[in-house]
Structure 1
Amino acid sequence: MSLRAFFSTVVGGLVLLTVVAATLLVVLTTALERMASTLSESVEGVRQAEELEVDLLVHSRLVALPGAPILADPSRGRSPPQIEADLRRQLVEMHGTASTQEEREMLAEVQTQVYAYLHAQQAPLRPGFSGAQHDATAMASLDAALRSLERLIQLNVEQAQEARQSAAYWSEMANVLGLVLGLLLMTTLGLVIFWLRRFALRPVTALRHAMAGFGRGGRHLRAPEQGPSEIRDMAQTFNEMADSLTHQQEQQLAFLAGVAHDLRNPLSALKLSTALTGRGEVTPERMQRTLALVRRQVARLDQMVGDLLDATRIEAGKLELQLEVRDTRELARSVVELYQSGDSGHTLELVTPDTPVLVRADPARLEQVLNNLVSNALKYSPSGSRVEVSVGGDAEHVVVAVADQGIGMSAEDLRGLFIPFQRAGNAKQRAPGVGLGLSVSRRIVEAHGGRIDVESQPGQGSVFRVHLARVTSAGPPEPPAPNDEEEPAGAVH
């Protein structure tokens, strides 16, 4: 699992946990609010029913005194008509606060009985009825109303008890859910810390130790490729870098050994030549042969040192180009004539178009590239074979090709052909060198804004092509931009 996926999962889980907790909080708050409202309505219903009950009893007491004038309520200074008005008002208010259908039905029954009581009190004495019978009828209606009020009070009390029990239940559920959510949160944090310590921090620590050890010289140290995918990628990148650095170090050591070996050969020849000239009589013919040998060895040394200096300048980003508009045909012709003047044992041909092929380039550097390509073609081709140098292209590009009929190269050899200090196995056996010529040539061509490629088959020869931008006689284009592989501080001049 990657760190991104892990933290996305953790954050998603925490968000889900937060949403669940918020939802439960809303549900609990709504339920408790509804229960509190029910409890408040029940208490209010009990208060109103008891007040109505008290007013009925006070009214019955005030009107029960036969032959006495209508008295006032001694507690509140109300007269029986005022109490009757309050009774009707209270009934209306109780209808407005009734919350259940059962309560509304019971309240309707109370209202009917209260109105029956008031009607019985206010009705005149009917013929054939005594005062006691009239009062008994009124009292029967009052008793019925009081019983209904008691049932209404009991109903509100039961509703209040149910609301309180529900509130206690939901409060307990809230405590349990809070505890569960807290435990889940703590467990999640514990698992996150455990996973990070075991699967993330440990690989990071191992990677840090490997990097520190490698920096102190432990070239064999590698980081374990384990843990999240990001850390595995970092470890893999470090291991690849460490392998590359180790390989480069091995190449540098091999290069130093090769340079020392290649320098020793001409130096040994020079030493032997100088030793021979100091023994006995030196004839003109012998002196000529010795001088020719010395010139060849000095030329080899000069070429090797020049390649090393060019490679150093290129890697430092200090390769300077003196750009001019030149005819590629003339540059190729001068290189071909140089090698034709010697006895190479090969057939060297030049193929050019009839019209000028202009490029903007440093003529010395471009001749250096062509010299290297032609020299390699002659060195790695059998005696008597044909080497062709051709100049061509189209309206926008110039292509200078060097084709030989030499030993050729395999696909594996082509992959490392332009890498500094690397030479193919068959090339090492055919001619001496340090493996810098083609690398320097490629960097020079790229500094001109061009490219160099090769086609080759083992035993069938090779074709090297240099691609450059073509210019017209109307005026030179802008200088090419520095190659991306060179450092900014070493811009090509």
Structure 2
Amino acid sequence: MKVSSGLPRVSDGPCSARGGSMSLRSWLAATMGVLTLVTLAAATLLIVLTSVLDRSAATLGVAFGGIRVSEELEVGLLAHDRMVREGPVKVPRGPGGLSRFELEASLYRQMGELRRIASTAAERQRLDAVREDVDVYFSAQWDPVRAEQEAGPALDAALSGLEQVSSINVERARVARSEAERWNDMADSVGVVLCGLLLLGVLVVSVLLRRVALQPLRDISQSMRRFGAGCRRARAPEAGPTELRDMARTFNEMANSLAHQQEQQLAFLAGVAHELRNPLSALKLSTALSDRSRAQLTPERMDRTLSLVGRQVERLDRMVGDLLDATRIEAGRLELRPEVRDARELAREVVELYRSGDTGHGLRLSLPDVSVPVRADPARLEQVLHNLISNALKYSPAGSTVEVSVRREKDTAVLCVTDQGIGISEEEMRLLFAPFQRAGNARQRAPGVGLGLSVARRIVEGHGGSIDVTSQPGHGSVFCVRLAVATEAVRHAEEDAGLTSLEDTLH
């Protein structure tokens, strides 16, 4: 049975869910990924800049060392030449208190150091030429003939070579400094760009977070607040990331369910009031007729009046019982007192009760030869059978047959009630066991509030079983209750049967 809630469908509105929306987790992961890439780029740039500056600093250190040693060599050679020209008497010791031999040894050590720190082939080649010139200069100083001819040119060539070495180191220092400045400028530019991107990313993330997550979340909160304040038509827009759309959809489904339940409750109250009015009106009319015609009240009339009153009281009692059971079930207070009973006996007792009255229908009972023990509350299971048989009788044409059968399928006891009534459509069967639901034909054929089958299903489920229906409109229905067979009772029954057989053999 379809029940229209009278509320607009949320999915038809402009704020309905749109396919392909990214989830909040994916969106945050992508955002953090972009920010992480920017941070990694900045860190990589810092590492590269540090390496370049370190290499430039090392190059500058080597270049400055080469310039310093070259200048010291030039000073030492000039001091040596002065010491030789002025003679040992006037200048017995060289610069720094060194003798001529010590000065020459010192100059050779400095040339070795300069050769060791040289980093280019041209610089090493020039230093080799300087050493050859210095060798010629030192050797020529010990020969007066060569001293006049070779010492001066060799000294000039050595000094010129040292100037060239100094120039090479100065150029190398200039190149290293230029490279360091270039990298520094590039790092400044890239750093400014990365900082701008990072700030822009933070700004974009803030704006998108507000639009994508915070605004839908605020809309959901406001919708919940309006719904809680009594606006039952308030619904949350299904927009934003997947998680928020799921949250909004869940809230909307809950709101629709509550609205539907409210409509059901109102319809239930109206149905109860209508169903109560009919028997109360009949009771009131019977009482009024009895009071006005007390003198002419014959035994036959009294019997008909009492029969009418009894039927209406029984109807009221059944209705109140269903309401009480439904209330206990919803409150979780349905008490079951299970015991092992034979399902055949329970079915037989219920059928015999209906056979004792004038139902206008035929009742056929089909039972197996062996026991079908079940562990159940006998009163509650009889209540379920009463409900199924009563419905079968009410919705079946007069003179038709209602069959009650019990059978065992492996470890399952199956109790079925088959009628030849109006049947139930597939659409109506989906809501058949829901509380306060009645099929259209059922409302016209028999009174009721639609609680009997709902209570029966909950009782069966409370026993760990199930209830199902097979039906076609105009061809009757078959309701089947399925319960687990009490296997322990079966074992005891088989043992008792075996013992009885053995006793009969001995006797």
Would you say 1:143 and 2:145 are equivalent positions?
no
> 1:94 maps to which residue?
114
Equivalent position amino acid for 2:291 in 1: G
Question: Of 379, 385, 406, which aligns to 1:391?
Answer: 406
Once the two structures are superposed, what CA deviation does each residue of 1:194-241 show, in whole Å capped at 9, x if it has no partner? 011122211111111111111111011111111122111111111111
Once the two structures are superposed, what CA deviation does each residue of 1:277-304 show, in whole Å capped at 9, x if it has no partner? 1223101111111111111111100000
> 1:23 maps to which residue?
44
Deviation (angstroms), 1:61 = 1.2
Would you say 1:119 and 2:139 are equivalent positions?
yes
8 Å contact from structure 1 (residues 63, 70) kept in 2: no
Deviation (angstroms), 1:26 = 0.7
Equivalent position amino acid for 1:109 in 2: A
SS in 2 for 1:63: helix
Deviation (angstroms), 1:64 = 2.1
Q: Percent identity?
A: 59
**Which structure is higher in RCO with an 8 Å CA cutoff and minimum separation 6?**
2
> 2:104 maps to which residue?
84
Equivalent position amino acid for 1:157 in 2: V
> 1:486 maps to which residue?
none
Would you say 1:152 and 2:173 are equivalent positions?
no
Question: Of 217, 220, 226, which aligns to 2:239?
Answer: 226
> 2:15 maps to which residue?
none
Equivalent position amino acid for 2:179 in 1: S
8 Å contact from structure 2 (residues 64, 169) kept in 1: yes
8 Å contact from structure 2 (residues 83, 94) kept in 1: no
Aligned ranges for residues 318-357 of structure 1 at < 5 Å? 318-357=333-372
Q: Distance in 2 between matches of 1:474 and 1:224?
A: 58
Deviation (angstroms), 1:69 = 5.0
> 2:470 maps to which residue?
455
Q: Distance in 2 between matches of 1:394 and 1:223?
A: 50
Deviation (angstroms), 1:93 = 0.9
Aligned ranges for residues 252-401 of structure 1 at < 5 Å? 252-280=265-293, 281-401=296-416
> 2:85 maps to which residue?
64
Q: Which moved more, 1:299-308 or 1:373-382?
A: 373-382
Deviation (angstroms), 1:415 = 0.7
Q: Distance in 1 between matches of 2:154 and 2:474?
A: 130
Distance 1:87 1:438, change over 3 A: same
Deviation (angstroms), 1:75 = 3.2
Equivalent position amino acid for 1:309 in 2: L
8 Å contact from structure 2 (residues 136, 150) kept in 1: no
Distance 1:29 1:476, change over 3 A: farther
Distance 1:434 1:306, change over 3 A: same
8 Å contact from structure 1 (residues 373, 402) kept in 2: yes
Equivalent position amino acid for 1:159 in 2: R
8 Å contact from structure 2 (residues 373, 489) kept in 1: no
Deviation (angstroms), 1:460 = 1.5
Once the two structures are superposed, what CA deviation does each residue of 1:41-74 show, in whole Å capped at 9, x if it has no partner? 11000000001111111111111246x5594345
8 Å contact from structure 2 (residues 328, 334) kept in 1: yes
Deviation (angstroms), 1:119 = 2.4
Q: Distance in 1 between matches of 2:442 and 2:134?
A: 125
Equivalent position amino acid for 1:160 in 2: A
Question: Of 236, 241, 262, which aligns to 1:249?
Answer: 262
Q: Distance in 2 between matches of 1:46 and 1:473?
A: 107
Deviation (angstroms), 1:87 = 1.4
Distance 1:120 1:473, change over 3 A: closer
Equivalent position amino acid for 2:58 in 1: S
Q: Distance in 1 between matches of 2:175 and 2:119?
A: 14
Would you say 1:236 and 2:257 are equivalent positions?
no
Once the two structures are superposed, what CA deviation does each residue of 1:423-444 show, in whole Å capped at 9, x if it has no partner? 1111111110000000000111
Q: Distance in 1 between matches of 2:488 and 2:162?
A: 119
Equivalent position amino acid for 2:282 in 1: A
Q: Distance in 2 between matches of 1:393 and 1:152?
A: 112
Deviation (angstroms), 1:334 = 0.7
Instruction: Say what the alpha-carbon RMSD is for the aligned residues.
Output: 1.6
Give the alignment's TM-score, normalised by structure 1. 0.92
> 2:72 maps to which residue?
51
Q: Distance in 2 between matches of 1:447 and 1:216?
A: 37
Deviation (angstroms), 1:340 = 1.5
Equivalent position amino acid for 1:318 in 2: R
Deviation (angstroms), 1:476 = 9.9
8 Å contact from structure 2 (residues 392, 418) kept in 1: yes
Q: Distance in 2 between matches of 1:257 and 1:439?
A: 19
Give the alignment's TM-score, normalised by structure 2. 0.90
> 1:405 maps to which residue?
420
Equivalent position amino acid for 1:202 in 2: Q
Q: Distance in 2 between matches of 1:54 and 1:404?
A: 129
8 Å contact from structure 1 (residues 71, 80) kept in 2: no
Deviation (angstroms), 1:79 = 1.2
Question: Of 419, 425, 446, which aligns to 1:431?
Answer: 446
Deviation (angstroms), 1:110 = 1.6
8 Å contact from structure 2 (residues 79, 95) kept in 1: no
Q: Distance in 2 between matches of 1:72 and 1:169?
A: 53
> 1:480 maps to which residue?
none
Q: Distance in 1 between matches of 2:131 and 2:491?
A: 113
Question: Of 103, 107, 122, which aligns to 2:127?
Answer: 107
Q: Distance in 2 between matches of 1:344 and 1:475?
A: 36
Equivalent position amino acid for 1:420 in 2: P
8 Å contact from structure 2 (residues 340, 489) kept in 1: no
Aligned ranges for residues 160-239 of structure 1 at < 5 Å? 160-239=173-252
SS in 2 for 1:28: helix
Deviation (angstroms), 1:475 = 8.2
Q: Distance in 2 between matches of 1:328 and 1:148?
A: 122
Deviation (angstroms), 1:100 = 2.1
Equivalent position amino acid for 1:304 in 2: M
Q: Distance in 2 between matches of 1:432 and 1:466?
A: 24
Equivalences, count: 469
Q: Distance in 2 between matches of 1:190 and 1:336?
A: 79
> 2:62 maps to which residue?
41
SS in 1 for 2:85: coil
Q: Distance in 1 between matches of 2:418 and 2:82?
A: 136
Q: Which moved more, 1:147-156 or 1:463-472?
A: 463-472
Structure 1, unmatched stretches of 5+, are 126-130, 478-493
